[in-house]
Structure 1
């Protein structure tokens, strides 16, 4: 029995590569064919079906089923008449008679999810044929409130001001993302979400610790499903800078005391020396004057004592 030669490794690799690309292409086409519709809370939205009645045909020849999550019947038509409708969609839904579009108004958050449209043509009552079976997904969004930013100083110094920044928003859907920009750079939040259920409005709060060295503009943004709201706040570095006073050391105090004592002693000694020197100079002139006065007074007395001698001569 002859054995066939094995395929070269390169050829086998190309074969598997081609098969993988084919699978990826099929998956991509499957995702591309999936219909998606977006609507805001409270608006009117139409979910398209996959079939349209020709002008020569009539709704009486069809059965149409709109259902959610393949279990909840939104509404159903048979032979041109409405035969079923869920209580939650009562007075909020209607269907187009020609293209079977499902209209919902007003849209609620609970309406979020996949819907399936199934159309049967009643060629005969015993053997209806399915002419359409397609899923369309409704994405319901609710706008968040404008973010509220608060900044509280936790610590202050001459170099920087430490702040606790909080950004909060509420009333939106679906679960949001919160971002922040400081000096053209993104920041990382400590985020918490609050919601009663996965199909209820969300409240979001982000907390951030910042060191502010100068006045800067800070922006907080809350976004969900392509819708974003932002708020900016000027963060100011406080100017209440108190430089702590350092008490002098023991050696400095001792040296300063010694210098002050020596200075006071020097002033005292200098004052005593100057007072004595001035008194000594003041007393000597006075003594000489008194002696001169005494000599002057004595001479006339001698003259008066010898009047005879004077007269005789």
Structure 2
């Protein structure tokens, strides 16, 4: 006798309930993650959601709602619809929605950065307890680039490139690119505390052999600002004259000295021959005139002649 195979057991109610709870848990976690982080800028208005919405059949008078920061500072506290506590730093800057308990903070400050907790009680029973992280950002100034020439030659120009930005939050990343190619440089940050504005400066020593475009960028919490500057290589280079070798100078000097001595000796010791036919007619006439002007030579008279 062959027994028929048993059919698989049908899903039980417990299995369906477990599956339903798992789905609800996943949905709840998804909503919690979606509400977990809020970003805002200094001077703007931030909205921090709570995890509970009061039914329209009831009112805030039936609940206690606490908004606190870092479990230490009570931002707002409501009991039976009345404000019972508020931190001095948040006074006149906060308000709460009476139905979904959303907390509004305006204007934002850097010190508002941190984790907040919303707690809702109904008839002494906690019906909501959720943490919300608030990230506050402050815009940095547009980067300022300066270039100072420290040395220059015909081949290259050495420059010190300085890029600076200030007044922003959180701590930024500053980068530099030469003709759209990233390079490493020295970076320094200055801030009074972890919740104070930052001043950032980047320094780069660069040998410029040709025109180059420098781009400085400051990045912070998904935001970025940049500035570009064109560096031109200086062309006022004067090439010094190339002197001849030392041996050539000595040899040339000796040749010149010998040539001068030869001319001097030739002028002093060589005889001067002047031919008669080379003499000018005027010179001959002058010479004849001088001969005619000479007095005639009278014959000598002796004693013997006079006696005769």
Question: Which TM-score applies when normalising by structure 2?
Answer: 0.75
Q: Does 1:283 align with 2:283?
A: no
Please say if residues 170 and 198 of structure 2, whose CA atoms lie closer than 8 Å, have aligned partners that are also in contact. yes
Report what 1:168 is aligned to.
164
Measure, in 2, the Cα distance between the counterparts of 1:286 and 1:168.
96
In structure 2, the gaps of 5 or more residues are 1-25, 289-308
Measure, in 1, the Cα distance between the counterparts of 2:32 and 2:159.
47
Report what 1:213 is aligned to.
209
Measure, in 1, the Cα distance between the counterparts of 2:158 and 2:259.
50
Deviation at 1:243, TM superposition (A): 3.1
Deviation at 1:250, TM superposition (A): 4.2
Measure, in 2, the Cα distance between the counterparts of 1:164 and 1:129.
66
Measure, in 2, the Cα distance between the counterparts of 1:248 and 1:31.
85
Report what 1:224 is aligned to.
220
Measure, in 1, the Cα distance between the counterparts of 2:216 and 2:271.
82
**Moved segments of 4+, more than 6 Å:** 28-31, 269-275
Measure, in 1, the Cα distance between the counterparts of 2:32 and 2:249.
85
Report what 1:182 is aligned to.
178
Report what 2:130 is aligned to.
134
Please say if residues 180 and 215 of structure 2, whose CA atoms lie closer than 8 Å, have aligned partners that are also in contact. no
Matches within 5 A, 1:223-262: 223-244=219-240, 250-262=246-258
Report what 2:97 is aligned to.
96
Q: Paired residues, what number?
A: 257
* Residue 284 to residue 181, structure 1, CA distance change in 2 (3 Å): same
Deviation at 1:188, TM superposition (A): 1.2
In structure 1, the gaps of 5 or more residues are 1-24, 123-127, 295-313
Report what 2:117 is aligned to.
116
SS in 1 for 2:170: coil
* Residue 48 to residue 251, structure 1, CA distance change in 2 (3 Å): same
Deviation at 1:75, TM superposition (A): 0.8
Question: Which TM-score applies when normalising by structure 1?
Answer: 0.74
C-alpha RMSD over aligned residues: 2.9
Measure, in 2, the Cα distance between the counterparts of 1:82 and 1:144.
37
SS in 2 for 1:218: strand
Report what 2:37 is aligned to.
36
SS in 1 for 2:236: coil
* Residue 145 to residue 274, structure 1, CA distance change in 2 (3 Å): farther
* Residue 273 to residue 54, structure 1, CA distance change in 2 (3 Å): farther
* Residue 34 to residue 269, structure 1, CA distance change in 2 (3 Å): farther
Give the structure with the higher percent helix: 1
* Residue 86 to residue 99, structure 1, CA distance change in 2 (3 Å): same
Output one character per residue of 1:150-198: Cα deviation in whole Å (capped at 9) or x when no partner.
Answer: 1001111111101001011111111111111102211212111111111
Output one character per residue of 1:23-78: Cα deviation in whole Å (capped at 9) or x when no partner.
Answer: xx9xx979945611111101111101111112112111111111111111111111
Measure, in 1, the Cα distance between the counterparts of 2:171 and 2:116.
21
Deviation at 1:244, TM superposition (A): 4.5
SS in 2 for 1:181: strand
Deviation at 1:119, TM superposition (A): 1.0
